Amino acid sequence: MMLYHARITAIGTYVPERRLTNHDLEKMVDTSDEWIVQRTGIRERRISEPRQYTSDLCAAAVNDLTRRYGKSVSDVDMIIVATSTPDFPFPSTASLLQHRLGIPATGAIDISAACAGFVYGLHLANSLIASGQHRKVLVLGAETLSKITDYTDRTTCVLFGDGAGAVLVERDPDESGFLSYHLSTDGSGGPHIYQTRIADKMNGIELIDKQLLVQNGREVFKWVVRTVPDGMQQVVDKAGLSFEQVDWFVPHSANLRMIEPLCERSGFPLEKALYSLVHFGNTSAATIPLALDIAIREGKIKPGDRALLYGFGSGLVQAGMLVRLQLDPQVNAPAAW
């Protein structure tokens, strides 16, 4: 069976205008700017308007992509939206986006893999194109987490923000931009981070009955630090490379205090880690594309650079992927951030 090559050809992002700073949170819960920065590295996050939803952020991110790269999305043959905060359980956010963009004929699906969702979306896009069944796939990671955040819980409300990132994955006649991947799941850790909807019990455990995000940060932290460095190593090994041959590490921007031990345990230099949490907080599926785009706009990422993308979160799931980026460094239009 012939396998086709795929690569990322364009990127776009969007965050809402409203800022929620640490000083704002000081007025809402028992916390302080110093406490938040020391424990998370976050200084502010963006918050969607009351009637601004995930599909709106997705559309704005795609508009940014087409404006900057001059790409058309009218012939996209699959839309994949990774989100934990869809506008509706159904119809899918991807189908709402299809209508907004006016794409005449395309597949459209949402995937639920929490903070690993964007990397899962890339993995699916690459697989669809490699199989020869698709030529052009739009992948988005987008969240409006503020709509499910409990702003009376000082341990979680300081973390989350809203945002969206979109990339175009296209068939390439010469070489693949996707070098290797690693996926892993530990469903026994599901009760450590969840949002209730229909079910009120998981793995035999009674859940808190509210439609808000619930997280046991300590347990999630221990799982990430214990398992992700090994997953990072597996991604690099599968590509036949070493960490020294990887230019950038782009982890899920959950918490700077989580990224630091990942770099320490894997031996990857912290100064080569890209993250979006300082000004955008934890945007779940959107953190990795936001971090990538910040680095592209700043001219850090050069054509041919290898980046290790690694998402991890509720499930408990993790997904790592090594990609070679060929995005035009001249497309560094200032963001309206």
Within its chain, how far is the Cα of 198 from the centroid?
Answer: 25
CB contact set of 165 (below 8 Å; sequence gap of 6+): 11, 12, 13, 61, 118, 140, 141, 142, 286, 288, 289, 290, 292, 293
- DSSP state string for 291-320: HHHHHHHTT-S-TT-EEEEEEEETTTEEEE
End-to-end CA distance of the chain: 46
Q: How far apart are CA 162 and CA 7, in angstroms?
A: 27
Cβ contact 325:291 at 8 Å: no
Place of tokens 């050069």: 302
| Catalytic-labelled residue, pool 182, 252, 255, 263 | 252
Q: How far apart are CA 68 and CA 328, in angstroms?
A: 10
| Catalytic-labelled residue, pool 58, 115, 157, 263 | 115
| Catalytic-labelled residue, pool 22, 126, 255, 282 | 282
Question: Does the active-site annotation cover 22?
Answer: no
Q: How far apart are CA 301 and CA 330, in angstroms?
A: 11
Reading the block at residue 37, the tokens are 């920065």
Question: Does the active-site annotation cover 282?
Answer: yes
- For 205, 209, 284, the CA distances from 212, given in Å and listed in that order, are 17, 9, 15
- Active site amino acids: 115, 252, 282
